[in-house]
Amino acid sequence: MKGWLRPWRVVTIVSAAVGLALTFARPWQSIELRLYDRWSVLTAPGKSVLPITIVGVDEASFAAIGQRWPWPRDMHAQLIERLAADGAAVIAFDMIFSERAAPAEDAALAKAIGRAHNVVLAADQAYRETATLRQWMRVDPLPEFLAAGAVAGLASASIDGDAAIRRFPDAQDILWRQVIAVLQRERPEFGLAGRIPDAALVRHLGPAHTFPYVSYHQVLNGSAALPPGFFQDQIVLVGRDVRASPEVGAAQSDLFATPFLEQSQLLTPGVEIHATLIENALTGRALGALGTSWAAALLLACTLCAAPALRRWHPWWSGIWIAGLAGAALGVSYWLFGERSQWLPALATVLTLALTYVGMGMVSYLAERRRAAQIKDTFSKYVAPQVVEQMVANPDLVRLGGERRELTLLFSDLAGFTSMSEKLPPETVARVINLYLTEMTRIIIASGGTVDKFIGDAVMAFWGAPLADADHARHGVAAAIAMQEAMARLQPQFIALGAGTVGLRIGVHSGPAIVGNMGSEERFDYTALGDTVNLAARLEGVNKMYGTKILISGATADRLGGGVSLRAVDRVRVKGKAQPVDIFTPCDDAVLIDHTAQALPHYRDGRWSAAREAWQRLALSYPGDTLAAVFLGRIDEFERNPPEAWDGAVALEKG
């Protein structure tokens, strides 16, 4: 079960759950309609393709007619007669004639309706509240208009919470249905079905005045701009198109927001909304809503496709992948909207993908912080603080596993530790060791080295990792010298503790090694492995053979570039290695270095007499020199028992 709780899976599941919850939440569905608005604007044809014309009750008509609203109904009767005479297929009024006017006017309108035989009048729903009753009541045209042949159509609109028109009103006697019914009755040869999908949405054709408009007064007065037959077979809608005139009173409220409001800054007249509904229905371009189940399916599909970007997280690569998926989701929604007249909400999918990216980014950030804390905690005990800070700032410098690096290795060990620990109480031994290790660790860290481990009284350290160090050899040798100087300062404390004089032996070697986090998943150490490590450890022990305190290899000496004065010690051969190794020890005495440089060539060439004389001269100048004693003793042995195949290198007894 633990494998299922990987961070990328948790982020995916949580993000998908949030997205699904939003998909089915009604407030979010309102937000999704913003995408509907955008697609409406981008896919709008910007024109009507059907013979629909709007006769607008506009400012120009108020100025030309010169009468206050409402206008006399016999004027509307004249308009109907002119439109019918010109061949209009349907004449629909987006006006409610529910109140009685002068009898002569009502009679004139009823007569015109009867003659035209193709008139649709608007009905509406009105909310009525009294002391004892609250109810919605239908408001229909006067009975005499209906008796004359007018068809009543409910002009109610489905308005969203932001006062915009997006949803198709669908009732059996809704105005757009009644207009189409009259059209089919009057012009059956058109063969128009007028069907829409369930829960359809409006496909707006453009901003206000996308449909052709003519002014009311032009039709009424027979303008020359309207030639005979202008309205032949037309669906003519008569409604208000007034924006600011105080003459119209309540007429100003018959304006609605559409997806084009933000772009055009114009509200759309209600009569044009009806024109849009009619055209949508007749052309079959009303939008079908795929619904929340399809939106949820899109969300889940995109979330699953996002998994690879989360599993192998990278801010740029993952961001491009997630952005591509979001773009694909929006592209599918746009294509369905424009080409298939289907509305598929996609903002929840986009939000979910954004949540996965942000969520995984936060997880990655926290993981990096945790890894930085681990690095800092792990290495702060072994390396300098500035090195820790660089590793925390650049975690890639510390690679998990191992990598090949050029390092300088140092091994140190206390001389006579075993005998000392046998004669002193454990508490005193612990104090001696802690005093020694504390000082040695401080020196190593101060020189930029890494304390690998403590092995009893031995210390293993290296330079060149985890951060690269071009001067690792110089820093390692400098630390070895400083450690011996520190041991000299610590001697009074060792003596006070009863440990007597405590000696320190150090071996230093440079070369390639494998360095990194080694071990198991449960426990690992940052350490170095390889022949370079083994030789450095051997050199520490070889000090006993020559009586030296520090031995460094020729490989390390070559990297110093003359920065440290060195005395050549010998050439040795490690077991299992064919190539001999030159070894040196730091020395500030130029004369001693010169004497040694004169003696060693004779020895290496097997010229025993000359070598003896050279080492004896050195011993006379430096009584007690342990190196001279070693070589003089070895020369005596070689003269008695000459070595076979002598190449100037002595084989070490171990390793």
Residue among 57, 1, 392, 439 at smallest CA distance from 215? 57
The answer to whether the beta carbons of residues 158 and 130 sit under 8 Å apart is no
Per residue in 9-38, pLDDT (tens digit) is 777 778 778 877 877 777 778 888 888 889
Distance CA 598, CA 593 (A): 9
Position 245 pLDDT exceeds 50: no
More confident site: 196 or 143: 143
- Do 352 and 475 fall into the same domain? no
- Do 53 and 176 fall into the same domain? yes
pLDDT the model gives residue 608:
93
- Do 107 and 201 fall into the same domain? yes
- Do 134 and 19 fall into the same domain? no
The rounded percent of the chain whose pLDDT value lies above 70 is 88
pLDDT the model gives residue 115:
94
Please report whether residue 390 resides in a domain. no
Burial of 12 per CB tally in 10 Å (0-12, 13-18, 19+): buried
pLDDT the model gives residue 161:
79
Per residue in 607-632, pLDDT (tens digit) is 999 999 999 999 999 999 999 999 99
Please give the average per-residue pLDDT across 550-564, as a whole number: 93
The rounded percent of the chain whose pLDDT value lies above 90 is 49
Position 385 pLDDT exceeds 80: no
Please report whether residue 616 resides in a domain. yes
Find where tokens 């109610």 sit: 156
Residue 246's CB is within 10 A of a number of other CB atoms, namely 9
Which residue segment(s) compose the domain that 296 sits in?
Answer: 2-28+290-370
- Do 327 and 446 fall into the same domain? no
Please give the average per-residue pLDDT across 439-467, as a whole number: 91
Please report whether residue 33 resides in a domain. no
Per residue in 336-356, pLDDT (tens digit) is 988 888 888 888 888 888 888
pLDDT the model gives residue 5:
59
- Do 22 and 82 fall into the same domain? no
CA separation (Å) from 485 to 280, 478, 517?
96, 11, 32
Please give the average per-residue pLDDT across 413-420, as a whole number: 85
Per residue in 102-120, pLDDT (tens digit) is 999 999 999 999 999 999 9
Q: Render the burial of 175-188: b for 16+ CB within 10 Å, e for the rest.
A: bbbbbbbbbbebee
- Do 84 and 9 fall into the same domain? no
Distance CA 108, CA 79 (A): 11
Q: Quote the pTM value.
A: 0.60
pLDDT the model gives residue 2:
46
Please report whether residue 385 resides in a domain. no
- Domain end, chosen from 588, 611, 643, is at 588
Please give the average per-residue pLDDT across 445-455, as a whole number: 90
The residues near 605 (Cβ < 8 Å, ≥ 6 apart) are 648
User: Confidence class of residue 399 from pLDDT cuts 50, 70 and 90?
Assistant: low
What is the DSSP code (8-state) at residue 195?
-
Please give the average per-residue pLDDT across 630-645, as a whole number: 90
Distance CA 264, CA 257 (A): 11
User: Confidence class of residue 252 from pLDDT cuts 50, 70 and 90?
Assistant: very low
Per residue in 37-88, pLDDT (tens digit) is 898 899 999 999 999 999 999 999 999 999 988 999 999 999 999 999 999 9
- What are the helix (H) ranges across 587-650? 590-604, 608-621, 626-640
- Do 312 and 177 fall into the same domain? no
- Domain end, chosen from 323, 354, 370, is at 370
- Do 339 and 426 fall into the same domain? no
Please give the single-letter amino acid code of residue 239: G
What is the DSSP code (8-state) at residue 191?
-
The answer to whether the beta carbons of residues 390 and 397 sit under 8 Å apart is yes
Position 522 pLDDT exceeds 90: no
* Average model confidence (pLDDT) across the chain: 86
The set of long-range contacts for 74-78, using a CB threshold of 8 Å and a minimum separation of 24, is: 74/104, 74/105, 74/108, 74/109, 75/220, 76/109, 76/112, 76/238, 77/105, 77/108, 77/109, 77/111, 77/112, 77/113, 78/112, 78/220
- Do 473 and 448 fall into the same domain? yes
pLDDT the model gives residue 575:
76
Please report whether residue 382 resides in a domain. no
The residues near 395 (Cβ < 8 Å, ≥ 6 apart) are 368, 371, 372, 375
Q: How many domains does the chain have?
A: 4
pLDDT the model gives residue 253:
61
Distance CA 147, CA 558 (A): 117
Please report whether residue 313 resides in a domain. yes
Distance CA 555, CA 606 (A): 25
The answer to whether the beta carbons of residues 475 and 448 sit under 8 Å apart is yes
User: Confidence class of residue 247 from pLDDT cuts 50, 70 and 90?
Assistant: very low
- Do 228 and 240 fall into the same domain? yes
Please give the single-letter amino acid code of residue 59: E
The residues near 147 (Cβ < 8 Å, ≥ 6 apart) are 110
Position 654 pLDDT exceeds 80: no
User: Confidence class of residue 246 from pLDDT cuts 50, 70 and 90?
Assistant: very low
Position 317 pLDDT exceeds 90: no
pLDDT the model gives residue 1:
39
